[in-house]
Homo-oligomer: A and B are copies of this chain.
């Protein structure tokens, strides 16, 4: 059950790992569309292509990394089952991927996780263990259970196979741009622990080696921005709060930061209010459901934080698991 999160000694994943991940998820993950709206383009003064990863199975990109991770295990190891910790998207992704392989999954989730996310994780067939997020360590609980059961931990971002799986989005972006004769001027990616943006950066190394790639974070959770600025992994203040519940990891991963510090051009910050505005615009112009954390890359463009000035930019919409009440609140802005 040793995983790279334990020691950090694991090798960094490469472009070839992303290609192998794409082979593994083929036919199992959705090849999500690259959407745009001519009216939205006019509003932002450029071309905004949205990779609609909210349409992925389980409603977020996390399915790719979870599936790749479990698929890469040897059959014997996989049969022992998997364990993960997550309050939301990764939980559902691991539960659904494990169900496809017919192996048991146990997810350590906070007692106060949103009810639908708990219910969905269980509906996919996973066992759940609840913990108190203010007094207990989810990693320790997960490691103890995994050791007892001889099960394998599927880390949410800091693992080569997780990163490679998320990177398959980058391969699809490259292929979809090539098919339409598009050379993007920049790629903006929602960022929590940094696995998604790291994977996409790996995937774009060959097709678009010079394209600037930016992480986009919620204000108060700008650990990757500050880590890139200082060159050392930074941690978010414990009192920070944001409605972008998918992006609240405390600091960049070891592996993800190692990739991101080499490859990213920078990181951008958006407010909760800008995320809500982006959710409303995605509803009206693209007819997709984005969750707050899934909308931050779009928000960076719409808010003018990243002005287009005639450029063509790909923004990843990373997830769409949002409470109906919060979604309706976003729509009040229209």
User: Which residues of A does B touch, CB under 8 Å?
Assistant: 27, 30-33, 35, 37-39, 42, 52, 54-55, 57, 59, 96, 99, 116, 120, 123-124, 180, 280, 283-284, 286-290, 320-321, 324-325, 327-328, 331-332, 334
Indicate how many identical chains form the complex: 2
- Cross-chain contact of A334 among B37, B52, B324, B334 (Cβ < 8 A): B324
Whether A324 contacts B283 by the Cβ 8 Å rule is yes
Q: Which residues of B contact A331 (CB under 8 A)?
A: 324-325, 327-328
Q: Which residues of B contact A57 (CB under 8 A)?
A: 37-38
Pair A320/B287 contact, Cβ less than 8 Å: yes
List, in ascending order, chain B residues with CB within 8 A of A289's CB: 283, 287-289
8 Å CB contact of A180 from B27, B96, B116, B284: B27
A287 CA / B328 CA spacing, docked (Å): 14
A320: chain B residues within 8 A (beta carbon): 287
Nearest CB of chain B from residue A160's CB, rounded to whole Å: 27
Report Cα–Cα, A102/B39, bound state, in Å: 16
In the assembled complex, the Cα of A324 lies from the Cα of B327 at a distance in Å of 10
What is the chain B residue whose CB lies nearest that of A59? B287
Chain B residues near A124 (CB-CB < 8 A):
38-39
Are B30 and A33 in contact (CB-based, < 8 A)? yes
Find out whether the CB atom of B35 lies under 8 angstroms from the CB atom of A55: yes
Complex: chain B residue closest to A317, CB-CB: B287
Docked Cα-Cα span, A39 to B121, in Å, equals 10
